[in-house]
Structure 1
């Protein structure tokens, strides 16, 4: 049984169905334009574009925050619109060339607003979180590239199961905290809370391996060119998740000082 990446953009169903349609297209075509196929370099370029858009958007909110604007509205608005674009792209990946840049811009509002809120309370935390995210990404990329970590079906099943468990726990905790006086155990700076944050970061990092594997498989299957945007957008989602979790962990550690 083939298991999916938790990241909705890099799941087997979407990539497999796209690959089938691409094979049909090649089978009936007289002339094949290989410039219209997904490539690794193209996906990397799209990822860099999304990163620059997200950074630019986050920088604007960051600057406005430290010039008197309340970043909460921008952060919430960016998160909501970003989620909507994610859901649309999950069902309509062919629109990814338009949805992915939009996601990066609106997610930048969220990242910029949240980062500014944390920075005000814990000066220097954003640089630490960015550095930790970058180092984690490079380490995971190196481990994957040199086949030190191999993405087997068993590996996928463990990561997917753990990710689903985290998502379920977060959802239940949020619902209970909204309507009751329940305080989730991952709140605060207790050892239990810090341990949970470390565990979530590890799982988020492991999702990067699934993302790398799915992008590589997409290139091998010669998927349509728009899947470069789709893959880049999925990878960006994982990196945003990883960055937010680093912010939360660092805030807990700083609050104990």
Structure 2
């Protein structure tokens, strides 16, 4: 198995110690649903606060702190998989606070953009899940290798951009609303979406291998990481498109 999702890799299930129960696809889907609810509740709260004329700077500050907290619990979850039943829900709540605040700020600038991004994210998830289950898209080794390579290149580009930010500059064009910026965002959205296929394959393989029950929470957490990335990239793409109007 190969996946570019840092929380789901080919050694995850091999290192897992046998548990009292076995991981199932149905159980993982249920855990994904729970994490989505835990994410949506604080996200809705933060989003409504921003819409009710909350200071955007305060919203961004809250988003930043929540993002740091989510990152910390994500790292803990990755290195302590047995803690996933506790750390994954905490990650979902913190990520929800971040997404709600940042979505509200975007929505203030471009009314309706948050709902559009949510609809496109869920639509992409369901479409790719259907394509995967029906065999229209297969996670072959070449497919996995291509997605992993593209994801790694994007990660390196973002890392370089962050480092450049410390010196008061950034990579030109890719963050702008010109054609290059839009095409770049579209490419990133496609790669983020294709990571879902790798995650589906990983979850299915884990269930077939009879991984311990707590891995349902861990696998659900991994899928949520991809969904959050996909949503944010769709949000950025829509913002670029609307800024051209």
For the criterion TM > 0.5, the same-fold answer is yes
2:220 pairs with 1:222: no
Give ranges in structure 1 of 5+ residues lacking alignment: 26-32
2:192 alignment counterpart? 204
1:237 alignment counterpart? 225
Task: Measure how far apart 1:169 and its partner are.
Answer: 0.2
Task: Measure how far apart 1:136 and its partner are.
Answer: 0.7
2:139 pairs with 1:141: no
User: For residues 222-244 of structure 1, what are the alpha-carbon distances to aligned partners after superposition, in whole Å with 9 as ceiling and x for unaligned?
Assistant: 11110000000000110010000
d(CA) in 2 for partners of 1:215 and 1:194? 32
Aligned-CA RMSD value: 1.3
d(CA) in 1 for partners of 2:6 and 2:156? 16
Deviating runs (4+, > 2 A) in structure 1? 66-70, 180-185
2:4 alignment counterpart? 6
Provide the secondary structure at the position in 1 that maps to 2:7.
helix
Quick one: which of 245, 250, 253 aligns to 2:238?
250
Quick one: which of 127, 138, 146 aligns to 1:150?
138
User: Would the aligned equivalents of 1:39 and 1:219 in 2 still touch at CA under 8 Å?
Assistant: yes
1:28 alignment counterpart? none
2:178 alignment counterpart? 190
User: Would the aligned equivalents of 1:173 and 1:184 in 2 still touch at CA under 8 Å?
Assistant: no
Aligned length: 242
d(CA) in 1 for partners of 2:65 and 2:85? 22
| Most deviating of 106-115 and 4-13 | 4-13
Give ranges in structure 2 of 5+ residues lacking alignment: none
1:52 alignment counterpart? 37
Judged with a 3 Å threshold, the aligned counterparts in structure 2 of structure 1 residues 157 and 105 are, in CA distance, closer, same or farther, namely same
Provide the secondary structure at the position in 1 that maps to 2:23.
coil
Quick one: which of 114, 134, 139 aligns to 2:102?
114
Q: TM-score, normalised by structure 2?
A: 0.95
Q: TM-score, normalised by structure 1?
A: 0.91
2:26 pairs with 1:38: no
Task: Measure how far apart 1:186 and its partner are.
Answer: 1.1
d(CA) in 1 for partners of 2:224 and 2:102? 17
* 1:54-133 to 2 correspondences below 5 Å: 54-69=39-54, 70-133=58-121
d(CA) in 2 for partners of 1:231 and 1:182? 34
User: Would the aligned equivalents of 2:162 and 2:170 in 1 still touch at CA under 8 Å?
Assistant: no
Judged with a 3 Å threshold, the aligned counterparts in structure 2 of structure 1 residues 144 and 113 are, in CA distance, closer, same or farther, namely same
Task: Measure how far apart 1:185 and its partner are.
Answer: 2.3
d(CA) in 1 for partners of 2:226 and 2:170? 29
d(CA) in 2 for partners of 1:180 and 1:82? 26
Greater C-alpha Rg: 1
d(CA) in 2 for partners of 1:181 and 1:239? 29
d(CA) in 2 for partners of 1:14 and 1:245? 27
